[in-house]
Chains A and B, each alone.
Chain A
Amino acid sequence: MAEVTLRTVSKSFGATKALVDVGLTVPDGAFVVLLGPTGAGKTTLLRMVSGLDRPDQGAVLIGGTSMQGLTPAQRNVAMVFQQYSLYPHLTVRENMEFPLKSPLLRTKPAEIARKVGEVAEILQISHKLDNKATALSGGEMQRVSIGRALVRNPAVYLMDEPLSSLDAKLRADLRVELKNIQANLGATFLYVTHDQIEAMTMATHVGVLDQGRLIQFGPPREIYENPVSLHAASRLGQPRINVLPADLFGPAPAKATHIGLRPEQIRQGAGQDAVVKRVEHLGDQTRLHLTFKSHDLITVTSAHTDLKRDDIVQITPHRPFYFDAEGTRIA
């Protein structure tokens, strides 16, 4: 396991700037989640670290050593691809054995069998080991792909949306399993996802990418509680942060154009009147869709609320975020 450092890494594909001056350190044993919309450069960043693509500028270091000119094999990275990339002519078992059979490793057959069996157990694919890789569902293929990485002991695990094709229950199970594996092995993970629950539950650090730039990097709570920009603020939080005109509730700091309110930043029971438009009972909480001065906003309330459509709720902002016209946080 090792620390991974990116220094002012830039990469363009033709006219498209995939990464711009990205600097980032993944501490040894950290679980770093990269968040960002499609096209933000998350996958490109993984490919830079893996060595499948080379940066136009900047350097990638693993364990303090420059990876300049080294192949993925020399870097000793394990990668889970978004499109699975299984070996279609091999069985599930053979797919998972493939990296262990590398002549570089000289793993004993008994050790290979033990390792594959163990990982298959965790990923709940033991009963599929002798199936052909192409005779699986999307979720199963994705788990085989994760398994092919987990059997190894690389410098860093790189995972590109590894849980995206799984059903909700399996996804929740594997979130816990992956986190356990990472914690037990002290492994370094660089993990790409759209899913903010994965980011909040698994990450020791979150990197928020937008249009090829790393706009914030830190522990997930810090990004949630202290976002540097509107974009970073809107990546985390369910329901999403409400963004409204800055002066909607009263005087705002100079230059502020927007006010950002997470559900817990909206105090209920005092302040100005808002009308309930919809009540969604989710079990452990209830979501309220409100209309306030002809703006829509969403907040949460207690699970057993008696509120219903067209009721009036008094709301007031509590320590809100303010953003300027560029989306930069100013208060």
Chain B
Amino acid sequence: MLKYTFGRILSGLVTIWFIATATFLAMHAVPGDPLMNEKATTPEIRENLARKYGLDKPIAEQYVIYLGNMVQGDFGISFTQQNRKVNDIIQDHFPVSAALGILAITFAALGGILWGALTALYRNQLPDIIIMFLVILGISVPSFVFAALGQLLLVNINQWFNISFLPVAGWGTFSHMIVPSLVLGLGTMALLTRLMRSSMLEIVNEDFIRTARAKGLSPSRIFFQHQLRNAILPVVTVLGPQIAAITTGGFVVELVFAIPGLGRYFVQAVQQLDYTVIMGTTVFYGAFLVFMVILVDIIYGFIDPRVRLK
């Protein structure tokens, strides 16, 4: 087990190194000068800026310096916010994205299990058809549409009832999180519903269900105690990567609901060619994803001994 765990961690580190290197190369291959701005500056000023950020050195040397700093956990200073460290940006804003993501995944998991179970229970009947139609919508409609619609709905509700039912945007209290996390979790909820449905349908025909029926147990007891419990397992296994995807993919939701998450920095950095922030956020997100995958792998190893032997 120890050897297996070490192996996974080692390959994870190699993956992170690869992500860092690929991002570094891709970023420098993008045309455009990160130090250039709308107002033209003299070559002298540009040189000074280049020196400040170490861009005056040859690219190979920059890469070595950058990797060295990264190993020490230092991502440098932002190009656009020249007095802020990238580490501080991640530290300040990742918890926000994470809080939103965890709530979103909770909504998604609860909803996915509930709707999935319902569709299986009412297979090919009206509830199944309606829910599956909504699932297709949830998977195919991008989150910025839901975000805008969700916010518009809130504005209208607040206007109709003339109360502050839920805040339209902003951050700070739990009530600020409800609608954004619902919107953020919608896609995953749809995905989980589909997964849950198929796994429920598989189980319906299992022997132990037939035995339970033969024993004369009530249908609801069979449903909750036997069917649901067994069908939930595959759903749990996809949650790991989904958590990583949701906590890192909330840029649009963060923008629409004015949430100070890390996603905004990630996207704006690319637009602004803010080298240090691009590197910092990409490597951090990459490492986070790798960490979640390893975590799931290790848990797998505990649950299923066959995995360890491979």
A and B are partners in one complex rather than unrelated chains? no
